[in-house]
Amino acid sequence: MSRLADPAKDFPQWYLDVIAQADLSDYSEVKGCIIFKPYGYALWEGIQHDMDRRIKALGVDNVYFPLLIPASLLAKEKDHVEGFAPECAVVTEGGGKKLTEALYIRPTSETIMYATFAKWIHSHRDLPLKINQWANIVRWEMRTRPFLRTLEFLWQEGHTAHATMEDADEMANAALKMYEDFDRDFLALPVVTGRKPDHEKFAGAYYTMTTEALARDGKAIQAGTSHNLGQGFSEAYDVSFLDANGKAQRPWMTSWGASTRLIGTIIVVHGDAKGLRLPPPLAPIQAVIVPIYKSDEEKAAVLKAAGTLQESLKATIRIRLDDRAEKSPGFKFNEWEVKGVPIRLELGPKDLEKKQVMVVRRDTGEKTPMPLASCTPEAMTALLADIHKTLYAQAKAFMEEHTSSAETMDEFTKLIEGKGGFVWAAWDGTVESADAIKQQTKATIRILGEQKPPKGAKDIQSGKPATMMALYAKAY
């Protein structure tokens, strides 16, 4: 196994090295599409399993809609088609014949779903309608990077219809909170949440909210988004319902999604110079036992004790005994470190003599002897919980250290080009000012502040009166 690039010197190369050495994905025969290898796909299965439960707890039912969307259907919502059609893969032949109408591979499913909502929704008693699907998506990206940006990706997309704006607001916020809770509890991921400015919103949305994490290289990364779509799609797809007074109304829609990008997010937020560091709820293997021995006699004794330890823990935690004879302990330490396994248990003849096991935490690197009798399911569960807490705290501290505010363009540029991270600045609310800042620094507005700017505050770029506070960062 070769060494990883130094993340402090070449973060992009380090990212690719981690993926290759942790065996998460491989390149495919199709440009921009990756292969999810077993260890990488196991991360997605973990995410699906936990998030699906949370989605169902919101009263949302899983469904599956077709992959292919007729061009005429996509075209009905003007902003949406302008935003997405240029990114689409287009099917023009099927069954050996040229098609009379082109079919787009779904870049997202609002259009095909809401055309069907028109059949399903008639009365206020049909609302709210709340569905979700786990599906593959294709968007024709030119500059791709494994997990972070790929031509095809996997995601969940929730879609709901409501009788009132308030109900849609509530749903969009509940979905955002679901992501925030999931990010914290399952991925140990601190995020900032808030609304996007209009020029960064989803094509066709009334407003867009996002959860954004901060990578170790100081760039922001979107972890999940939730849109109140307003009534635009209802009008475009002619969805209506009779309210309690028998009056025809347009429902309000929401949609919200999170994707395999979360895998990339975990890497760039929690990874370190030794590779992945997986949050314990996500880790396919939570603890690995590495036996250490020289003679055959030592081998027999150590493997016996290791087997007993594994047996005592396997009902409670996901544990593996790495008894490969052809690999050295050093090789194994390195491999499980790069794969981010939270706990390593080393067991050698000296440990057996002392009736102990060496416990190595992946989060801090701490190595502590623990009496074998104390290495119980309860102790390991508590240790995993502490590792989760520590990963979260480390990422949170990093985010706090890398969140600043700037009152002038000069200060702003120094911060963005210096330590990076999030920078609060007053904004005049115009696309022109935001674009000028993007041109100069590559930083974009990630979310808007909920508080108004201080009295008299001026846009750092235009010098015009500020109407709101914006959180800027360079972003993935």
CA 19 to chain centre: 16
Phi, psi of 73 (to 5 degrees): -75, -45
Binding mask 5-44 for a second copy (x = CB under 8 A): ---------------------x-xxx--xxxxxx--xx-x
Minimal CA–CA distance to 361: which of 277, 266, 284? 277
Judge contact between 321 and 310, C-beta under 8 A: yes
Select from 84-92, 312-320, 343-351, 416-424 the region that touches a second copy (CB under 8 A): 84-92
- Residue ranges in 184-243 that form contacts with a second copy under rule CB under 8 A: none
The least distance separating a second copy from the CB of residue 67, rounded to whole angstroms, comes to 5
How far is 154 from 138, CA to CA, in rounded Å? Answer: 9
63 near a second copy (CB under 8 A):
yes
Nearest one of 330, 325, 361, 328 to 345, comparing CA atoms: 361
- For a second copy, the binding residue among 8, 90, 273, 393 (CB under 8 A) is 90
State how far the Cα of 415 lies from the Cα of 405, in Å rounded to an integer.
9
The DSSP symbol for 5 reads P
Select the residue interacting with a second copy from 58, 75, 89, 436 (CB under 8 A).
89
Residue with Cβ nearer a second copy (73 or 236) = 73
Question: What distance, in Å, lies between the first and last C-alpha atoms of the chain?
Answer: 28
106: which DSSP letter? P
Q: How far is the CB of 274 from a second copy (least distance, A)?
A: 24
The least distance separating a second copy from the CB of residue 15, rounded to whole angstroms, comes to: 20
Is there a contact between 198 and 284 (Cβ–Cβ < 8 Å)? no
Taking CB under 8 A as the criterion, which residues in 407-466 touch a second copy?
A: none
* Smallest gap from residue 21 Cβ to a second copy (A): 15
| CA gap 257, 191 in Å, rounded | 16
DSSP bridge partners of 313: none
Residues 120-159: x/- map of binding to a second copy (CB under 8 A)? x----------x---xx-x-x-x---------x-x-----
Among 5, 50, 65, 250, binds a second copy (CB under 8 A): 65
Nearest approach, Cβ of residue 165 and a second copy (Å): 25
In this chain, which stretch among 55-63, 271-279, 358-366, 388-396 interacts with a second copy, using CB under 8 A? 55-63
Q: Which helix (H) or strand (E) holds 321?
A: strand 319-321
Of 83-91, 187-195, 386-394, 429-437, which segment contacts a second copy by CB under 8 A? Answer: 83-91
Per-residue DSSP letter, 145: B
Q: Does 94 bind a second copy (CB under 8 A)?
A: yes
Our CB check for a second copy shows the closer of 108 and 193 to be 108
x-or-dash string of contact with a second copy, 102-121, rule CB under 8 A: xx-x------x--xx--xx-
Taking the least distance from each CB to a second copy, the nearer of 120 and 311 is 120
Q: Does 95 interact with a second copy (rule: CB under 8 A)?
A: yes
410: number of Cβ within 10 Å: 10
- Which residue number, 151 or 253, has a Cβ lying nearer to a second copy? 151
Instruction: Judge contact between 191 and 296, C-beta under 8 A.
Output: no
Q: Which CB atom, from 36 or from 422, has the smaller least distance to a second copy?
A: 36
Smallest separation (angstroms) from a second copy to the CB of 114: 11
Taking each helix axis from N to C end, the angle separating 261-270 and 377-401, rounded to the nearest 10 degrees, works out to 80
- Give me the helices (H) in 240-369, please: 261-270, 296-313, 329-338, 349-353
- Structure token pair of residue 407: 């009152």
Two tokens, residue 30: 């199709």
Integer Cα distance of 271 and 284 in angstroms: 16
**Which parts of this chain interact with a second copy (CB under 8 A)?**
26, 28-30, 33-38, 41-42, 44-45, 61-70, 73, 85-96, 102-103, 105, 112, 115-116, 119-120, 131, 135-136, 138, 140, 142, 152, 154
